[in-house]
Structure 1
Amino acid sequence: MRTPSRCGGAASVLAPLMLVWLAAAAPDPTPTTQADLDVPMTRSVLLTAMEFLSSRTLAPHTAKEFSLWGLGGISALDPGLHVEERGHVVTLLSGQTATLSRDEPAEGDLRGWAELDTALLANAWTQSDTIRAAHADGVVQSFFDELFNHLDPYSRYVGPAPAKTDREERSGGDGEIGVSLGEDTTVSSGGRRRVRHEREIIVTAVNANGPAWPAGVDIGERLISVDGRSVAGRAPTEIEQSLRGAPNSVVTLRLAPPLGGAARNVSLRRAQVPPETVFAFASDPLVVLRITSFSSDTAEEMSQYLDQAAQDGRMRGLVIDLRGNRGGVLQQAVTAAALLMDRGVAVVTQGRDPQSNHIWAVQGGDMTNGAPIAILVDGRTASAAEILAAALSDHRRAVVIGSATLGKGLVQTVAQLPDGGELFVTWSRVIAPLGWPLQGLGVMPQICTSRGAADAQRQMDALRAGRALDSRSVVRSREVRLPDSVSQLLDIRKACPAALGGDNDLDQARALLGDRTAYRAALEMVPEGTQTAAPKE
C-alpha cells in the first residue's frame, strides 16, 4: 500500500519530553576570532546555562558549584593557570602570581557568578597564548566540559557549529523528495544482430517520510528527466543533488514503469525529510521491523508498515529488532508502544523539575490484533529502545530475546543557548511500568542468547514444555527499586551478560513465535501488575 496511514489516536501522552529552551532576547551568534573574546556573549551564554541548569539537574547544585567546576576549564586548557577559592575570594593565578581576584557573590546569585566567571575567563584570555589558541568557542567548551564532569555522563554542551549540523540532521536539512537513485543496464537488439547496452537511472529506495512516498513513486521506476532536463549520461549522485532545493519548492520528475509502458509526470514539493529509521522485511511467516533509532517520525513509519502488513494478511507474528538502537525521542517510543498495546502505562519519568514528572500512558489500538511479538535486543540497545522493550515486556505483550541492554535510563532536556550552541541536561530518571529503574540495570530478556547457542536451545526446549529455566533473573530485575545498589544491579546483569547480537537471536524468535506454549511460558516469566501511582521524588 503506497498511501501512508496516520497514527491518529494511537497514543495519549501527558506531555512532550524533549524541551528545547530558547533564551529570550538572545543576541545573534557572531563568529569569534583568535584575537577577540566576545565578553557580552560569553556572559550571556553562562548566565543562560546556569538559569537552565539550576532547576533541572537531578540533584540540586548552586551557582557557586557550577562556576567553580566550570572555571577548572582554564587549567584544562593551560595548566600554568589555575583558579583558587579562599576566604570568599576567587582568584586566577599564573603560577604563584595572582592576575585577578573577585569577591564571591551569594551562592545562588546566578547573575553575579556569571559576571565573575566571565571576568576570570577574559583575564585568562589576556594572560595565555594557549587559551587564545583554543579560540572563544574552545574556551566556552572547556568551561562546560569541566562543569559536566561533575554531573552525569549524558549531560553535555555542544558548540555552535556541531549544534547547527545536528539540528539540520534532526530536521532533515535542505528540501528533498525522499528518493535514492541508482543505475540499471538494459540490453536491446539493434539491426544486423547489434546489441546495445543502455544505462538507465532507476529509483532504488523511497523514504516513507518524504513527498515521493504519498505521490506513489515506487522502487524500480525509471527516471527520464528532472524539470524537463534529460538524465541520460548523468551520474545518480549528480541527479540526486539536482533533486534537492529550497523547502516547499517544486520539482517535476518524468518516470516510466520498470518493464515498459507510458511515462508520467510527477510534480513534488520539496520538504525537509528526516532520515528513515524503520526497515521492514518478511521472514515467513513473520514480519520483521528493524528500528535503528527513534526520531520524530519513527512511530509514523512503524504505523505505515504495520498497516501494510495487516492489509497483506502477513501479521501472524512480529519481530521488532532493536539491536544496536541507541535510542532517541522518548515520546516516539511511547507512541510506538501504543501501536502494539491497547492501554496502560508505558513509562514513568521522575525528576526535580515538575515538568519532568510524567506518567506516560497510552490508549490506542493494537494494530497487530494481538499477534505474538518478539523483541531483539543486545548490549548496545539503549534509552528509548529500552523503554519500548520494557513497556511491552512488563505488560506481557512481547518476549524480549538477546542480552542485557545498556541500561541508559536518564532523560535529557535541551536548551538552545545565545551562541547557537546547545545544552543537553539530564533532568529525569526512567521507571518501567512495573516500577523498576532502567538506569544501570537495563532490560533483562526472557530468552538469553549471550551464553551461547546451546544454552539458548536448552531454554527454548524448556519453554516448549511450558517451563521457564531463567525466570528468577527476570523477576529479580523487576523487583529492583530506587535507591538501588550498584552491586545488586551488576549481580542481576551477570545472569545474561551484555553482548552483540547475532543470527541466533532471529532463529530463537522464529522458533518462539511458532510455538504457542513456548510463547505463553516466556510471557509469564514477567510478574503481573503495573505501576499506576503518580511519580514521587
Structure 2
Amino acid sequence: MKEVWNMRSLMIGTGVGLILGATAVGLSAIAAPQSAPPPSDPRTVTYQQLELFAEILARARQDYVTEIDEPEAMEAAINGMLTSLDPHSGYLNADDFKSMQVQTSGEYGGLGIEVTMEDGFVKVISPMDDTPASRAGIQPGDLITAINGQPIIGKTLNDAVKEMRGEQGTQIDITVLREGVDPFDVTLTREVIEQKSVTWELDEDDIGYIRISTFNERTTPLLEAAVNGISEETGGRPRGIVIDLRNNGGGLLDQAVSVSDMFLSGGEVVSTQGRRAADMESYMAHNGEVFKGVPMIVLINGGSASASEIVAGALQDRRRATIVGTTSFGKGSVQTVIPLGADRGALRLTTARYYTPSGHSIQALGIEPDVSISPARLTEEELAKIKRFSEADLPHALQNEEGAERRALQMPDEQPPEGYEGKDFQLERAKQMLKDGAITASNGLKRAG
C-alpha cells in the first residue's frame, strides 16, 4: 500500500487542470437551458439514473483515451454501489465466491488475516492464530498500503485479498502502516491456512483454556472435542473454564449459535431483525449445557467481532460467563450471501441486525467487559493518543438504531504492574480470578455489596 506520492501529485495536478478547463467550457454551453423540475416518483428518479449510467458508460467506451475493460468497469460500479451502503456488503464475482466458500470451509492458501477496507487501504481486523501474519507480528488496526510494491489505492477489497492469496511457499511483500511507527515492509511466505479454529489445554490447577480463533464449518466439532478432552482429564469437573475470543474476527452465524448453545440450558442465544419477516428470527439453545456449574470467563478485545460478539453477548446476558478484556469491535449486523447463478458470482448483502438475549444491539458499540483489563501498561497520556479502531470508525458503518454511541476509551480496571515480564496478562488474570473464587457459575463476578 505504498505510493509514489510525488508522481501521483504531479499527475493529479496536471489532470485537474485539464478537467477544469474542459468543464468550464461544458458548463457555459449547458447553463442556458432551464432545468426541468425534479420528478417526485422515486422509481422515475431511479430510471433516470440508470439512463445516466448507460450514457456515461457509452461515453467512456467511445471517448476514453484507451479501450476500457467494460466487464471490469461494470463490476467496479456494482461494488461501488454496494460498499456505499455499509462496509460489509459487496459483490463477489465467480472466482471470489469460490474463494469465500473455500475460506469458510476452513482451508485455503494465504497469509491468515481478517481484513476490511478503509480509506482505500486494507485494514487488519485480526490476524489468525499460527499463520504467517500472526508470526510476523501483524496487529489489529494495521493498514496494508501496498502489495509487492504496488499501491493498493484504487483496488477493491476483493482484488487486494486475491493478490494476498496464492500458492503455498510463494513469497509476498506487504507495506504496513501502523500508528506511531514509520511505514515498514514485511516479507511473508504463503501457507495453506488450515484453520484449526479451536485449541485447548489444561493447567496444573485444572483451569481449562479453550481458544476459538474463528467460526468456520469445523468450529463446533472441534469445540466438542476440546470439551471431551478437558472432561476426560478432570472427571468432567474442571475448576474453571476460560474461553478466549480475542482477535476472533467472526464467521458463520450458525457456528456462533451452536457454540453458545453448548454452554447454555435452553433460552435465547441471539435474535435477528431485518426489513422482512423472513429476516426476523430467534435462535434458541437446547438443554444439556456442558460444564454446568463450572465458573467461566470469556476473553475479548477490539479484534473480537461479529460471531465472537454473539457468543460473548449471549453468555454475558444469560449470566453464564464473566466477560474480561477490552471492548469488542461492535459489528452487530448479519450478511446473507446470495448466489446469482450461472457463474455470475454472489451478492453479499447486509440483511439484518442481531440482538443479544436482553434485546441489546451492539452495532457500533461493542460488548463491554465486566472487568476491563489492558494487555499492556498505559498512562493517561498514552491512552489519549490511542486511535480507536472499531466498527463505528469504518466508512458507511450502520449507526446504532437506538442512537447510542461507543464509549470513549477509558483507563482499564486493571493493567500489568510496572516491570511486568509475563506473556499474557489478561489470560493470567483470568485464570487467577477463577483460582481465587472471584467468579461464580450462576452469578458471574462477585461484586462487593
Query: Shorter-normalised TM-score: what interval?
Result: 0.5 to 0.7
Paired residue for 1:343?
266
Rate the CA distance shift 1:128–1:376 in 2: closer, same or farther, 3 A.
Answer: farther
Verify: 1:483 aligned to 2:420, yes or no.
Answer: no
Partners of 1:369 and 1:307 lie apart in 2 by 14
Verify: 1:152 aligned to 2:73, yes or no.
Answer: no
1:400 Cα shift? 0.9
Verify: 1:281 aligned to 2:205, yes or no.
Answer: no
Paired residue for 1:161?
95
Partners of 1:334 and 1:439 lie apart in 2 by 18
Paired residue for 1:116?
51
Aligned counterpart for 1:437 among listed residues 346, 361, 367:
361
1:293 Cα shift? 0.8
Structure 1 segments (4+ residues) deviating >6 Å: 78-81, 103-106
Q: Give 1:420's aligned amino acid.
A: R
Q: Is the 8 A contact 2:239 2:435 kept in 1?
A: no
Rate the CA distance shift 1:303–1:166 in 2: closer, same or farther, 3 A.
Answer: same
Verify: 1:327 aligned to 2:250, yes or no.
Answer: yes
Q: Is the 8 A contact 1:446 1:525 kept in 2?
A: no
1:490 Cα shift? 2.4
1:424 Cα shift? 1.4
1:323 Cα shift? 0.6
* Matched position secondary structure for 1:320: strand
Rate the CA distance shift 1:321–1:172 in 2: closer, same or farther, 3 A.
Answer: closer
Paired residue for 1:301?
222
Verify: 1:357 aligned to 2:263, yes or no.
Answer: no
Q: Is the 8 A contact 1:125 1:131 kept in 2?
A: no
Rate the CA distance shift 1:115–1:296 in 2: closer, same or farther, 3 A.
Answer: same
1:136 Cα shift? 3.2
Partners of 1:125 and 1:525 lie apart in 2 by 67
Aligned pairs for 1:454-533 within 5 A: 482-486=401-405, 489-491=406-408, 494=410, 496=412, 503-519=424-440, 523=444
**Larger mean Cα displacement after TM superposition, 421-430 or 308-317:** 308-317
1:482 Cα shift? 4.6
Paired residue for 2:374?
450
Rate the CA distance shift 1:107–1:484 in 2: closer, same or farther, 3 A.
Answer: closer
Rate the CA distance shift 1:279–1:146 in 2: closer, same or farther, 3 A.
Answer: same
* Matched position secondary structure for 1:425: strand
Scaled by the length of structure 2, the TM-score of the pair is: 0.59
* Matched position secondary structure for 1:343: coil
Q: Give 1:276's aligned amino acid.
A: K
Paired residue for 1:53?
none
Rate the CA distance shift 1:165–1:514 in 2: closer, same or farther, 3 A.
Answer: same
Q: Is the 8 A contact 1:105 1:113 kept in 2?
A: no
Verify: 1:107 aligned to 2:42, yes or no.
Answer: yes
Partners of 2:345 and 2:43 lie apart in 1 by 24
Partners of 1:286 and 1:121 lie apart in 2 by 64
Verify: 1:388 aligned to 2:311, yes or no.
Answer: yes
Q: Is the 8 A contact 1:451 1:496 kept in 2?
A: no
Partners of 2:230 and 2:281 lie apart in 1 by 33
Partners of 2:440 and 2:66 lie apart in 1 by 62
Aligned pairs for 1:239-250 within 5 A: none
Partners of 2:55 and 2:195 lie apart in 1 by 43
CA displacement 1:474-512 (0-9 Å, x = unmatched): xxxxxxx952232xx325x64659x9x971111111111
CA displacement 1:186-238 (0-9 Å, x = unmatched): xxxxxxxxxxxxxxxxxxx9xxxxxxxxxxxxxxxxxxxxxxxxxxxxxxxxx
Higher relative contact order (CA 8 A, sep 6+): 1
Q: Give 1:280's aligned amino acid.
A: W
RMSD: 4.2
The total of aligned residue pairs comes to 313
Scaled by the length of structure 1, the TM-score of the pair is: 0.50
Q: Give 2:75's aligned amino acid.
A: Q
CA displacement 1:266-299 (0-9 Å, x = unmatched): xxxxxxx974211122233222111111112312
Q: Give 2:356's aligned amino acid.
A: A
1:417 Cα shift? 2.8
1:169 Cα shift? 2.8
Q: Give 2:348's aligned amino acid.
A: F
Rate the CA distance shift 1:367–1:106 in 2: closer, same or farther, 3 A.
Answer: same
1:130 Cα shift? 5.9
1:170 Cα shift? 2.6
Q: Give 2:81's aligned amino acid.
A: L
Rate the CA distance shift 1:95–1:165 in 2: closer, same or farther, 3 A.
Answer: farther
Q: Is the 8 A contact 2:250 2:305 kept in 1?
A: yes
Q: Percent identity at matched positions?
A: 26
Structure 1 residues not aligned, in runs of 5+: 1-77, 82-93, 175-204, 206-239, 242-272, 456-480, 527-537
1:140 Cα shift? 2.2
Partners of 2:81 and 2:359 lie apart in 1 by 32
Partners of 1:105 and 1:171 lie apart in 2 by 48
Q: Is the 8 A contact 2:107 2:195 kept in 1?
A: no
Q: Give 2:427's aligned amino acid.
A: L
Partners of 2:300 and 2:215 lie apart in 1 by 15
Rate the CA distance shift 1:370–1:428 in 2: closer, same or farther, 3 A.
Answer: same
Verify: 1:127 aligned to 2:62, yes or no.
Answer: yes
Partners of 1:521 and 1:130 lie apart in 2 by 70
Rate the CA distance shift 1:521–1:355 in 2: closer, same or farther, 3 A.
Answer: closer
Q: Is the 8 A contact 1:290 1:321 kept in 2?
A: yes
Paired residue for 2:335?
412
1:121 Cα shift? 5.6
